[in-house]
Amino acid sequence: MGFQLVSKASDARSLLDCVALTTPSKPARAVDQPSIRNSNDKPDTAVQLASNPVLMPWVGFGTYRLGQRQSRSATYHALDAGYRNIDTAFIYGGQTTEIEVGKAINDAIQNGIITDREELFVTTKQWREYHCYDKSLQCLDLSLERLGMDYVDCWMMHWPGPCWESKPRQERDQIKN
């Protein structure tokens, strides 16, 4: 099952506005939200995913390859420019980018660029060393701690296969034989 994107964008600036995610097979009008019209003026509805509407900004700011020295400043300036969708990952910047992104978000709140965390759609990603249930939870907890947040809006598996190098040597040798 895929997702259908429903945009409110009518010009380039409004691409920073939100888009609703819905499963195509079960669109449902959100009870207290008006209809959304996309740029083709076709009526679409604000929809629900599970029991809650999930709105995410259409355009996001990615933090890959920014590194520790640039990620805080660049993220802060992106927020100041109007970005409200921030994408980061556990492994970015040698595991330093999440910390700096969290600081940038806090700076933006302190300086009145955004009023609170709820204005943002934050995505981070689990790294491949953290497969299995308990390790996945450990990775999520570490990401939340680094970001200084209680939750993220989207948490994805960054690399679908486990890290071969992180497996104990005896286990790797058994697999080979």
CB distance 63 to 78 below 8 Å? no
Choose, from 64, 92, 133, 151, the residue flagged as catalytic.
92
Confirm if 19 and 42 have CB atoms less than 8 A apart: no
Say how far apart CA 77 and CA 102 lie, in whole Å.
13
Euclidean distance between CA atoms 45 and 36, whole angstroms: 5
Q: Is 76 a residue of the active site?
A: no
Give residues with Cβ within 8 angstroms of 27, minimum separation 6: 4, 45, 47
What tokens does 117 get?
């965390």
Name the pairing type of β-strands 4-7 and 43-44. Answer: unpaired
Active site residues: 92
